[in-house]
């Protein structure tokens, strides 16, 4: 016999649930090592939770910034790209959209003032993470850097 647990994440108001992780434990023949979550499982759970929360935030932030600032029309997505951000709980890989400029804005011109037939595109969530790391990571790096001697830092870099 085994016990099974599934940990879900649900953003309030959406009714959408996504599975964060699943845990299984045997009951018969269980040892002390089978009780609770292991360190590796705890890290895995936090990483999965961090990734899903961050991805959901990016979708919400994009939806807020997607309407054209001039006419209000919803701008199209050119593509989704993977970006890695450093957080205090580790690196998190998320998909971020690249949005094409609205048709109400003039097309870019080349050196001869001819239309390049290329529309501007921008990453709508770029202003959120200009350095691709959270302020908490920045603070932790500064704190760690100030507590380690120069010799030790030099050793760690090699």
Alpha-carbon distance of 48 to 24, in angstroms, equals: 17
Q: What minimum distance in Å lies between the beta carbon of 107 and Zn ion?
A: 13
Looking at the Cβ atoms of 20 and 102, the one nearer to Zn ion is 102
| SS3 per-residue string spanning 69-124 | CCCCCECCEEEEEEEEEEECCEEEEEEEEEEECCCCCCCCECCCCCECCCCCEEEC
Looking at the Cβ atoms of 87 and 105, the one nearer to Zn ion is 105
Q: What minimum distance in Å lies between the beta carbon of 78 and Zn ion?
A: 16
Q: What minimum distance in Å lies between the beta carbon of 11 and Zn ion?
A: 29
Looking at the Cβ atoms of 62 and 85, the one nearer to Zn ion is 62
Nearest to 76 by CA among 97, 57, 59: 97
Q: Which residues bind Zn ion (CB under 5 A)?
A: 68, 70-71, 73, 102, 104
């Amino acid at each position: 016999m085994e016990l099974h647990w599934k940990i879900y994440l649900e953003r309030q108001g959406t009714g959408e649930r996504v599975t964060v992780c699943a845990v299984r434990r045997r009951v018969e023949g269980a040892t002390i090592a089978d009780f609770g979550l292991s360190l590796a499982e705890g890290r895995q759970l936090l990483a999965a939770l961090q990734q899903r929360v961050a991805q959901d935030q990016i979708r919400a932030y994009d939806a807020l910034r997607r309407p054209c600032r001039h006419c209000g029309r919803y701008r199209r997505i050119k593509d989704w790209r993977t970006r890695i951000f450093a957080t205090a709980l580790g690196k998190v890989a998320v998909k971020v959209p690249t949005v094409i400029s609205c048709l109400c804005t003039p097309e870019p011109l080349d050196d001869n003032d001819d239309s390049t037939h290329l529309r501007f595109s921008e990453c709508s969530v770029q202003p959120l993470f200009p350095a691709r790391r959270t302020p908490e990571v920045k603070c932790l790096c500064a704190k760690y850097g100030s507590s380690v001697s120069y010799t030790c830092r030099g050793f760690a870099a090699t």
